[in-house]
Amino acid sequence: MIHIINYGLGNLGSIKNMLKRIGVEAEIIDKPEQLEDASKIILPGVGAFDSGMSHLIDNNWLEILNRKVLTDKLPVLGICLGMQLMTKGSEEGALPGLGWMNAKVKKFSFDEGSKLKIPHMGWNKVIPAKSSKLLEDPENENRFYFVHSYYVESENETESLLWTHHGLKFVSAFERDNIMGVQFHPEKSHKFGLKLLKNFVERY
């Protein structure tokens, strides 16, 4: 069973409905002990970094998440803020992140007069950095829907999976072993998001 973690911040219903479209049942859980029988984990999230980490800490998610992801090696997919929480930390807040990936989160900052907007919002292309079971065909153009003011900067480029340009080149997806994160919203990305979620379900 795929478990979608409800820690107070996330577009949970849309993710569950998208999975239902590909014939997959998922359970939204709000208690750490419910994670014990998970086969895969989705960590969604919208909002501020420290708020997300505080919810995970205050509701006792850290111990079981670290055990399931780092020890048991369950496949986990972070979405938007969920991806950012997998890093070491963010310029948006003071709390450390989960530290699963060698990356940090930085704020978009453009010169005054720039036509580039913050947040980065809307559809954008992604450029494969490496091949992955998460991607259907890295040679085909994929587009996803983004909404974010902070971006991931990888400290180990071997973990970078997709790149996207918005004033600069940033990591829009990363992957190492069983740990995956995407900055965009697959649940809002129509056929492209549907295929990515299908690959996560079927190939890991």
Helix ranges restricted to H, the chain: 12-21, 49-58, 62-66, 81-85, 190-203
Positions of the chain with pLDDT lower than 50, given as ranges: none
pLDDT at 9: 78
pLDDT value of position 112: 83
Long-range Cβ contacts of 169-176 (<8 Å, 24+ apart): 171/103, 171/129, 172/124, 172/126, 172/144, 172/146, 173/83, 173/126, 173/134, 174/83, 174/101, 174/103, 175/130, 175/132, 175/134, 176/101
92 noted as active-site residue: no
pLDDT for the residue 137: 66
Q: What pLDDT is recorded for position 139?
A: 58
* 33-76 confidence digits (pLDDT tens): 999 999 999 999 999 999 999 999 999 999 999 999 999 999 99
| Domains of the chain by start residue, with CATH | 2-203 (3.40.50.880)
**Catalytic pick from 55, 148, 166, 185?**
185
Does residue 187 carry a catalytic annotation? yes
**Which residue out of 80, 92, 120, 159 is catalytically annotated?**
80
| pLDDT at residue number 115 | 86
Judge whether 185 counts as a catalytic residue.
yes
* Model pLDDT, residue 142: 87
User: Nearest 5°: CA angle at 146, between 82 and 21?
Assistant: 75
